[in-house]
Amino acid sequence: MKKRYNYILPGFITILFISLSCNRDFLNVPPQGQLTEEQALIDPDAADKLVGGIYNSLYSQSTLGVNWIVLGSIASDDADKGSTPSDNGFNVSDVDNFTFDANTTIFNNIWTGYYGAISRANKALAILDASSIDESIKKRLTGEAKFLRGLFYFNLVRAFGGVPKLIVVPKPEEANNDEYQTRASKEEIYDLITADLQEAVTDLPEKGETGTQVGRANKGAAQALLAKVYLYLKDWQKTYDLSLAVMTSGKYDLATDYTNMFREVGANNIESIFEVQTGPSKSTTGSCDGISPNFSNFQGPRAKSGWPNNIIDGKVYSGDLGFGMNTPSEDLANAYEDGDKRRAGTIIFISPTSTTTLWDGFQIPSQPSVENSRYNYKGYHSPFKETLPCSGSVNDKDNKPKNIRVIRFAEVLLMNAEAAIHLGKDAQTPLDRVRSRAGLTVVPATEANIWKERRIELAMESDRFFDIVREGIAGSVLRAQGKNFVDGKNEVFPIPQAQIDLSGKRLTQNPNY
């Protein structure tokens, strides 16, 4: 499925102040498009599109797009900010160096992006609850909405710790109530996440069963995400049980070719458990839909001086490939074992003396013409061999239809191995499967080796910062890379000052900010 659902929920509500104004008018946005609440109450197709509207928020720059790359990847030891030394777009320098504060713009962007998405989920759930559509359809759509809300809150709690718990659609006159303007504890948010995902596990069909669609959440996706949540909670038995359920379902396996998995040909393959869908569809306004501005462009190799045109199959591409942000670090490049096939599929290495040729024939000049020596291959979308943006232009750099891989089967294997270590069960077999695909020999299934394998397998997929915080090694790892990480502070990011101000100071700040 490569389409966007062109619907915006009626009465769309974002209680946590998307606007930096105290004006409450944003609580009463009128319906857009043809979908109405009345239709969704009785029409299964309308209800399906209502839930589809939640999926639309996944590719926002402020949910799983560029801003999330900055927090999950650039803040970690996997990546440097890259680009030109003076470029601080998306606050990349501030986050990379841990010189940010509560007024740094990216945190408010992420906050409002995620609460906007949560509001969509809450609105859909309220309408579905009152709907008279077929119970089996209602059950599936409710499970999808709960899955997505669980994902949104999981990312929020990992980034900020305890946050406001918004699970209903408040009436406009209730928007200023304390319960919507104060923080729930981290534990309360995790309770909400696990409850949502458990319901999704119960209600969603298996991959390929009646009602499922490629790109929509199913039982396996809910089990895998819930296993990951329990991994963070160190509930090893539940992590083990849920990951094992995915492993034994017969629905997933490791893809044969690691490198192809991150290209268009690898989208939604046997290894994909959940990924964000994109495509070249157009909305009624003629704009590009389902494509996050800048996702590939943000990470593409950046010219230091002019580049010659690339011409392949009669198509002419002019200039460089992007802003050059999120460049793989030297530490990551050196972490690969000899013979690891994943290295070449993860990092574009720019030659200091000769042209670098990418998989599709695209040629990048030698280092004197390029800003950085390494770039993220997983973020590359070919202007020649893959689907063009909806504009149809080979030179449309901002809107390349690049799916985001959120959960893969390899991660499920590594979660299972990590949990097995703590339970005295077989961790060697799942670890060996991941390493075998990479062309590597057997190593003992110790916790340290599983953590290392997780880093290499998921490199540049915007999870590393949260992993090293979870593992309790963030301070030592990041300070060794010259980052200004402070223990007892930087394990979470600051609550946006704009949100604290607009709550009348009822939102409290994280320690030491």
Whole-number Å distance between alpha carbons of 177 and 173: 8
- For the chain, state the CA radius of gyration: 22
Spatial CA neighbour of 57 closest among 112, 20, 19, 104: 112
Q: For residue 310, what are its two tokens?
A: 């690339």
Give the β-pairing of 356-357 and 363-364: antiparallel
Are 74 and 493 in contact by the 8 Å Cβ rule? The answer is no
Q: Mutual orientation of helices 44-55 and 105-130 as an angle, nearest 10°?
A: 170
Whole-number Å distance between alpha carbons of 208 and 221: 12
pTM of the model: 0.93
The pLDDT, as a whole number, for residue 211 is 87
DSSP-derived secondary structure for 395-446: T--TT---PEEEEEHHHHHHHHHHHHHHHTS--HHHHHHHHHHTT-------
Q: For residue 488, what are its two tokens?
A: 């007892």
Whole-number Å distance between alpha carbons of 163 and 207: 32
The pLDDT, as a whole number, for residue 23 is 32
Q: For residue 322, what are its two tokens?
A: 């992007």
What are the distances in angstroms from CA 116 to CA 54, 105, 142, 171, 353?
9, 17, 18, 16, 48
Beta strands in 67-219 (DSSP E): 79-82
Residue 287's contacts (CB-CB under 8 Å, 6 or more residues apart) are none
Task: Provide the 10 A C-beta neighbour count for residue 422.
Answer: 15
Q: How open is the CA angle 69-72-76, to the nearest 5 degrees?
A: 115
The pLDDT, as a whole number, for residue 297 is 95
10-residue averages of pLDDT along the chain (513 residues): 37 37 32 59 86 91 95 98 95 98 98 96 95 93 98 98 94 83 97 98 95 94 98 98 98 97 96 88 47 88 93 95 97 98 98 97 95 97 93 90 96 98 98 98 98 98 98 98 97 98 96 97
The pLDDT, as a whole number, for residue 434 is 98
Alpha helices in 204-269 (DSSP H): 219-232, 236-247
Are 50 and 35 in contact by the 8 Å Cβ rule? The answer is yes
Are 285 and 465 in contact by the 8 Å Cβ rule? The answer is no
- The type of residue at 176 is N
Q: Which residues pair with 374 in a beta bridge?
A: 349
Q: Which residues pair with 80 in a beta bridge?
A: 327
b/e code 317-327 from CB counts within 10 Å (16+ = b): beebbbbbbbb
Q: Which residues pair with 376 in a beta bridge?
A: 347
The pLDDT, as a whole number, for residue 179 is 84
Are 231 and 417 in contact by the 8 Å Cβ rule? The answer is no
Q: Which residues pair with 69 in a beta bridge?
A: none
Are 209 and 187 in contact by the 8 Å Cβ rule? The answer is no
The pLDDT, as a whole number, for residue 6 is 38
Spatial CA neighbour of 240 closest among 424, 89, 75: 424
Q: Tell me if residue 502 falls in helix, strand or coil.
A: helix
